[in-house]
Amino acid sequence: MTEPLHSANFDELAVALPAHISHPLLKQLATRLQSQFFPQDYKRPIVAGWPDIQDDDGQGQDPNRPNNQTMSRHFEAAASDAGASSSATNTSFVPDHEISQGALILETLFQAPIADASVLIAITNESHPRLLLTKRAGHLAAHAGEISFVGGKHETVDGNNVVTALREACEETALPPRQVQVLGQLPVQTSKSGMSVRPIVALIPPDLTLVPEPGEIERIFWADFAVLIEQPLEEYAINYSLSGNNLVLLTPSWVVDGETVWGLTGLILASLLELCFDRKIEWYYRAQA
């Protein structure tokens, strides 16, 4: 683990709910991700962005909700205007049902099985959302020069996948954890080395100053999120050695700002687009004829 450029603080973690997200793509992203936390028999007051949630007693009060005072330090309802210059958090008034929803989301994320590593899919909360990507340093022993999300291996002190993703993001880019508003998680993916990787999806303010940690990151760059959702794929050729034989493998990829997004990062991105935007992408590695 490298020394962080920014002191991480995980005492308060924020959840962004669909009702407080203005941008339609980001609202859809949050709604799809968070629907997994609310089964059909889960009862909460009807809220914009939560069409399947029903009022439990007709008066909008849930007798089984978590204690508000206890949860307030762990959850802040996001009241962000997508057109604003930065993402604002509403701490002056947090309705009970939103505290309950946010508390359930965080509790579910915290109790998820711990993966070997976690990555943060960070998207700016603005009128033209951007997705954060990094290029790994060229001197690294593994995956040198490849494109990745911020993230890394789990450490025992983390306690859960969310903290792993936020800690690593802070170490690699100086992204302050308190500026992150969690949306949810994607299914675990497995790297070619057999490592389990849990993607955590979140919103961040658009005006943050991020600094690449030179021991790990060569550059930080951004993908236009709306463009990426529909951007055509390109087939990427990889030189691969297997049992002394040199092969050329073909695999799907995106080209973003002159960089090729493929491999595990591409697979995770494909998973996000399928789950949240119904874009089915066949992921493959095929030997060139």
pLDDT in tens, 130-167: 999 999 886 765 666 789 999 999 999 999 999 999 99
For the chain, helix (H) and strand (E) counts, in that order, are 6, 13
Q: DSSP state, 2?
A: P
Does residue 72 or residue 182 have the better pLDDT? Answer: 182
**pLDDT number for residue 46:** 40
- 244: pLDDT strictly greater than 90: no
Strand 217-224 relative to strand 130-136: parallel, antiparallel, unpaired? antiparallel
**Beta pairing, strands 150-153 & 117-124:** antiparallel
- Average pLDDT score over residue span 100-119: 94
Query: pTM of the prediction?
Result: 0.79
For 94, half-sphere exposure in the C-beta direction (CA atoms, 13 angstrom radius) is 24
Q: What is the pLDDT of residue 13?
A: 86
The whole-angstrom separation of Cα 80 and Cα 230 is: 25
Whether pLDDT at 209 is above 50: yes
Higher pLDDT, 85 or 176: 176
Distance CA 131, CA 266 (A): 13
Please give the structure tokens belonging to residue 206: 């658009």
Mean pLDDT of 6-24: 79
- Per-residue pLDDT, 95: 62
Cα–Cα distance, 199 to 119 (Å, whole number):
5
- Rounded Cα distance, 258 and 274, in Å: 24
What are the residues facing 132 on neighbouring strands? 222
